[in-house]
A = this chain, B = another copy of it.
Amino acid sequence: MGHRLADWSTRARLAAPGEGIGLDELGLATRNHGLPLEALRYDVTPPGLHYVQSHYDIPYVAVDAPWKLTIAGRVRRRLRLDVAALKAFAQVTTRVTLECAGNGRALLTPRPVSRPWLVEAVATAEWTGVPLRLLLAAAEVEADAVEVVCTGADHGVERGVEQDYQRSLPIEVAMGSESEVLVAYEMNGAPLPPQHGFPIRLIVPGWYGMAHVKWLREVTVTATPFTGFQQAVAYRIRQEPGETGEPVTRILPRALLVPPGFPDYMSRARVVRPGPVPLEGRAWSGQARIVRVEVSTDDGHSWHEAELDSDQGRRWVWRRWHFDWTATPGEHVLSARATDADGHTQPLEQPWNRGGFAVNLVQRVPVLCLEADD
């Protein structure tokens, strides 16, 4: 009688031409919030302004609840570690810019129906924890290991598949030291907030957010590639549903502006007065260092070099840029474009994929400059 998950759960689909955002997409947007773009001013995003994306409910974990992380599978010594045991290992603090793999999805045509991000699924935090490679070394990984499967405590159903959230990493990434994967128990010097994975989560610098498994319960070393839902079905770059597709991994370069002037409440379009308007923003890439940001004030017709602040030797963090603009009365469209050391840059026309992943289209910021006497 249809009381089966497979018949009942929402299926993947594309929005019809001209179809507005649905109440289901809205529900995901209001649960999983973005970074208000004016908060790009902060080097480290204040708690509560960091973007959030979770697939299922935020698990309720009492502050004093027992919690064990299991390291198992192709290891000689299975480990069961509580947070105190994790803190007995070497402690590392890393500043990391995180971005959701679906950032920009809502700007695609046709729009893949999922969490409809515009451009704001990004933020930066300081994460403190133990390098995953130290835990794996303590567990003595077998020689045939190829991946680690990381399992969270969040549970739900997605396209008919009931599951705990699970993602894998190649063993060389999990055991690498550049970037160094963390099992994190602090965010900005405090215990993780519930929505960011309390009590522990994975941090995989340079990778899109889906790899940073929250409410981490188990790391299972495997001798075969993981084929679970979030690895083989979701988070693949595909044109058609039947394709194997390419996995989503490292963050593509992107630049965003701190919105200048003040906003119209409803449209968020910006208003400035004539004269000097300092522009600033952030640029990041999970592939290679940011080496260049260009700014356009005429909707992409011409481009000018922005000045980059020092990255202070921080490899996995957004880099501040600034540019002096002189506004004249009328309507303008501002943009910024990032390029990294490997030559990756941002498109002016976005290639489409049916999951809406790894979109890094150049941002467009409409601005009205008033007359001098207005």
Contacts and interface: CB of A to CB of B under 8 A. Distances in A.
Interface residues of A, number: 74
Interface stretch (A23-31, A73-81, A174-182, A288-296): A23-31
Interface string A36-65: 101101000011111010111110100000
Interface of A: 1, 3-5, 8-10, 19-34, 36, 38-39, 41, 46-50, 52, 54-58, 60, 106, 113-114, 116-118, 120, 155-159, 162, 193-196, 259, 262-269, 271, 329-331, 368-371, 374
Given A4-B374, A47-B193, A106-B23, A117 B30 contact: yes
A52 to B, nearest CB: 8
16 contacts: A3-B371, A8-B264, A9-B264, A9-B266, A28-B268, A31-B268, A36-B57, A38-B57, A38-B60, A47-B48, A48-B48, A56-B263, A57-B259, A157-B263, A158-B264, A158-B265
Given A20-B19, A24-B268, A34-B31, A4 B118 contact: no
A334 B349 CA distance: 46
A225 to B, nearest CB: 23
B370 A3 contact: yes
B156 A263 contact: yes
Contact of A194 (B31, B39, B193, B267): B39
B10 A264 contact: yes
Nearest to A51: B30
Given A20-B19, A263-B157, A58 B30 contact: no
Task: Give the oligomeric copy count.
Answer: 2
A193 to B, nearest CB: 5
Contacts of A158: 264-266
Contacts of A194: 39, 46, 49
A116 B21 CA distance: 11
SS class, residues of chain A in contact with chain B: loop
Nearest to A2: B331
A22 B24 contact: no
Contacts of A39: 58, 194
Contacts of A36: 31, 54, 57-58, 195
Given A20-B21, A157-B263, 14 more contacts: A3-B329, A9-B267, A10-B265, A21-B22, A27-B268, A30-B33, A47-B47, A47-B48, A48-B196, A49-B193, A114-B266, A157-B264, A158-B264, A159-B265
A116 B8 CA distance: 26
Contacts of A29: 26, 29-30
A30 B39 CA distance: 14
B370 A156 contact: no
B56 A113 contact: no
Contacts of A50: 48
Contacts of A25: 21, 26
B24 A26 contact: no
Most buried by B among A24, A117, A158, A263: A263
Contact of A374 (B5, B368, B370): B5
A368 B3 CA distance: 7
A21 B23 contact: yes
